[in-house]
Amino acid sequence: MALCEIKNLRKTYPSFTLSELSFQLNAGRIVGFIGRNGAGKTTTIKSMLGLVHPDGGEIDYFGLPFSQHEKQIKQRIGYSTGAVNYYPKRKIKDIVAVTRMFFDTWNEEAYREYLSLFALDESKMPSELSEGMRVKFNLLLALSHKSEILILDEPTSGLDPFSRDELLDIFAELKKRGVSILFSTHITSDIEKCADDILYIRDGKLVASYPKEDFRKNCCEAGESIEEAILRMERSANI
């Protein structure tokens, strides 16, 4: 069974349409959701989280319709749609004390474990953290209620190449621990490095949705990397 299944998702803005998107997030997989600026990644992710109201389509998690079970489902998923800018002058431990009240599924052991995995000091305030540490703090909050699925909108944007690499290693570690991840990016090397499945979106339409090896077989010409293939496809679409 898919952990998350999206069928025919639609959302129209005055100058943009997300049209009939269908894809799945399966257990034990990391899905890289790639597309250039304005392709529709954030609209898709926000629709999946109830932060944008779709015009049509079905969104199920754990076999349950999101529209009818949002509260229950959100106890089992972690998400981040941007840097945490709230409470910049409160200590991490104080922010956590408030956050844990919202989750019946909060798990102190998991919280301590991720705090140590991410090497975060809970006596620090977000304003004292680097961009990379802030992303990790975001992940800490998203994971401490034992999330089975992590949905992240452009978690690597704004990170230097070293912090980005470190974050992708953390994704691989989380996958080993049984967390399935969907993350959006416009950086193709993120996908090459750690995605099992690739969703490629352009102008609100899904261009390709394959396991990485099948993406190579179906979309890459001889000797081409995934990055080169995507650049070629983008160029030919813009002619």
Query: Which residues of this protein are in contact with ligand ATP, per CB under 6 A?
Result: 13, 16, 35, 37-43, 186
Q: Is 221 exposed, middle or buried (0-12, 13-18, 19+ CB in 10 A)?
A: exposed
Least Cβ distance, residue 87 to ligand ATP (angstroms): 24
Structure tokens at 170: 């953390």
Q: For strand 149-152 and strand 180-185, is the pairing parallel, antiparallel, or unpaired?
A: parallel
Distance (Å, whole) CA 136 – CA 214? 31
- Comparison of 21 and 92: residue with beta carbon closer to ligand ATP: 21
- Comparison of 44 and 147: residue with beta carbon closer to ligand ATP: 44
Cα angle for residues 170, 202, 229 (degrees, 5° grid): 70
Least Cβ distance, residue 201 to ligand ATP (angstroms): 7
Least Cβ distance, residue 52 to ligand ATP (angstroms): 8
- Comparison of 5 and 153: residue with beta carbon closer to ligand ATP: 153
- Comparison of 27 and 237: residue with beta carbon closer to ligand ATP: 237
SS3 58: strand
Least Cβ distance, residue 64 to ligand ATP (angstroms): 25
Do the beta carbons of residue 54 and residue 47 sit within 8 Å?
A: yes
SS3 70: helix
CB atoms within 10 A of CB 238: 8
- Comparison of 16 and 210: residue with beta carbon closer to ligand ATP: 16
Least Cβ distance, residue 203 to ligand ATP (angstroms): 9
